[in-house]
Amino acid sequence: MKISLGPQTLIYPNPVLIVGSYDNAGKANVMTAAWGGIVCSDPPCVSVSLRKATYTFGNIAERKAFTISIPSEHHVKEADHFGIKSGRNEDKFSMTRLTPVKSEIVDAPYVKEFPVVLECRLLHMHELGLHTQFVGQIMDVKIEEDVAGEGGRPDIRKIRPFVYDHSSMAYYGIGGVVGKAFKIGNEL
């Protein structure tokens, strides 16, 4: 039997997206966002939803560009830190001793030490309420060479991304394979 919890933002899984942008003085900033994901295959687009109060909001609106860096478990502390502090009051790269890399494709920085990076130009801003959704066209995806697996494709077991559980406010790793997509469903 089902229990009603009322309206709330519950879903599984939430990603941990590190959004990179430049402020108007050219300082690299990053923030952590869990409200986002892929939204279109062609053109390839990703979205991330931000509150107007964030420093990143103004940066992206101004520069029309952002990056998304996906952290591995090794950097869970840094990824969490990026979601606690504001770039208004702190240089998050100096604080975490991570390295901003200027994208050669879009006007935004990404995190050198993180294994997967999406470089995006801003296509749309959708006002939804407390959050505004920024839709970016993915101009390139870059991965660290040591997370490439079979055929040069990114290997999730080497990337070791993690998920955010909003209910327990904890991060969880990725477990084992539970099935092949577009295949296991044919067994029925």
Among 53, 60, 77, 93, indicate the residue that binds a second copy (CB under 8 A). Answer: 77
For a second copy, the closer of residues 24 and 55 by Cβ is: 55
Among 19, 31, 65, 68, binds a second copy (CB under 8 A): 68
Single out the segment in contact with a second copy by CB under 8 A; choices: 18-26, 54-62, 129-137: 129-137
Q: What are the structure tokens assigned to 37, written together?
A: 């994901």
Query: What is the H or E stretch that residue 67 is in?
Result: strand 65-70
- 52 touching a second copy, by CB under 8 A: no
Instruction: Please tell me the distance from the alpha carbon of residue 13 to that of residue 132, in angstroms, as a whole number.
Output: 21
Does the protein bind a second copy through residue 106 (CB under 8 A)?
no
Residues 6+ away with beta carbon under 8 Å from 93:
28, 30, 99, 100
Contacts of 72 (CB under 8 A, 6+ apart): 114, 115, 159, 160, 161, 162
User: With CB under 8 A, what is the number of residues at the site for a second copy?
Assistant: 102
Is the CB of 26 or the CB of 172 nearer to a second copy? 172
Residue with tokens 């870059």: 142
Q: How far is the CB of 24 from a second copy (least distance, A)?
A: 26
Is 163 a binding residue for a second copy by CB under 8 A? The answer is yes
Q: Examine residue 24 and tell whether it contacts a second copy (CB under 8 A).
A: no
Rounded Cα gap, residues 29 and 96, in angstroms = 12
Q: Judged by CB under 8 A, which stretch of 23-31, 56-64, 126-134 contacts a second copy? A: 126-134
What are the tokens at 28?
């690299």
Q: Write down the least CB distance from residue 6 to a second copy, Å.
A: 6
